[in-house]
Amino acid sequence: MSLLKLAHQHIQDSLRTGDIAIDATVGNGHDTLFLAEYVGENGRVYGFDIQQAAIIATTEKLQHSGCLDRVTLIQASHTDMAAHIPVHHHGCINACLFNLGYLPKGDKRIITQTRSTLSALNTACQLLAPRGIITILAYPGHAGGDDETASVQHWGEQLDAQHFSVDTFFSAIPSSSAPRLLVVHKR
Ligand SMILES: C[S@@+](CC[C@H](N)C(=O)[O-])C[C@H]1O[C@@H](n2cnc3c(N)ncnc32)[C@H](O)[C@@H]1O
């Protein structure tokens, strides 16, 4: 099973219809659609991406699938997620998905950055509901990806174990450039 599928499976196990989720890196919208289908028509998904191309592609994808009305797409950095999510949803987020790196088939120079990723992860922890989940797919195989992956791993190891549990999953074929999945649960 791919690490992306594994991330989805962990989220599936945690999400219920009517829940609230965040896609912190919308990209081409595959993860946003997955979340939108799981929260159902009474749920809500907030999706963030800094690239207009990602927001446009995802709007079309959601429209085509009839899920657009349950998703709020925001062209902004995930570091600012708290400012864009209504205060009454703070502390109520049931799942938050990060799929780091660059937009597939897009501009490979536009990548998630260690500093903003860590800042957004800290904010996500604050926004999370009790028993909420964060999944982070990190890719060390590209420029900047090594540092980001190591920093995210270190961030996970530093989380207060009283409040969070962290599991790391590695690719079946181990290599220094293979992706890695962190699954964080709020207790
Ligand atoms: C690997 S892609 C995401 C793939 C996506 N989840 C999908 O289903 O297609 C990573 C995305 O993160 C976005 N990104 C980079 N920095 C960001 C930031 N600070 N805030 C939000 N999104 C960012 C990129 O523009 C890119 O679209």
Over range 131-154, report the average pLDDT: 95
With a cut of 90, say whether residue 160 has pLDDT above it: yes
Distance, CA 150 to ligand 1 centroid (Å)? 18
- In sequence order, what are the residues at sequence separation of 6 or more whose Cβ sits closer than 8 angstroms to the Cβ of residue 166? 156, 157, 159, 182, 183, 184, 185
Q: Name the pairing type of β-strands 164-170 and 128-138.
A: unpaired
The structural domain count of the chain equals 1
What is the b/e burial string over 107-141, where b = at least 16 CB atoms within 10 angstroms of the residue's CB?
A: eeeebbebeebbbbbebbbebbbeebbbbbbbbbe
Give yes or no for residue 184 CB within 6 A of ligand 1: no
DSSP state of 102: B
**Residues 125, 134: contact at Cβ < 8 Å?**
yes
pLDDT in the model for residue 143: 86
Q: Which domain holds residue 113?
A: 3-186
More reliable by pLDDT, 5 or 173: 5
The preferred substitution site among 11, 26, 114, 136 for testing ligand 1, maximizing ligand atoms within 8 Å of CB, is 26
pLDDT in the model for residue 57: 96
With a cut of 90, say whether residue 79 has pLDDT above it: yes
pLDDT in the model for residue 174: 78
Q: What is the CATH number of the domain that holds 66?
A: 3.40.50.150
Give yes or no for residue 135 CB within 6 A of ligand 1: no
More reliable by pLDDT, 104 or 122: 122
**Residues 166, 159: contact at Cβ < 8 Å?**
yes
With a cut of 90, say whether residue 141 has pLDDT above it: no
Give yes or no for residue 50 CB within 6 A of ligand 1: yes
Give yes or no for residue 148 CB within 6 A of ligand 1: no
pTM of the model: 0.97
Q: Using 50, 70 and 90 to split pLDDT, how confident is the model at 139?
A: very high
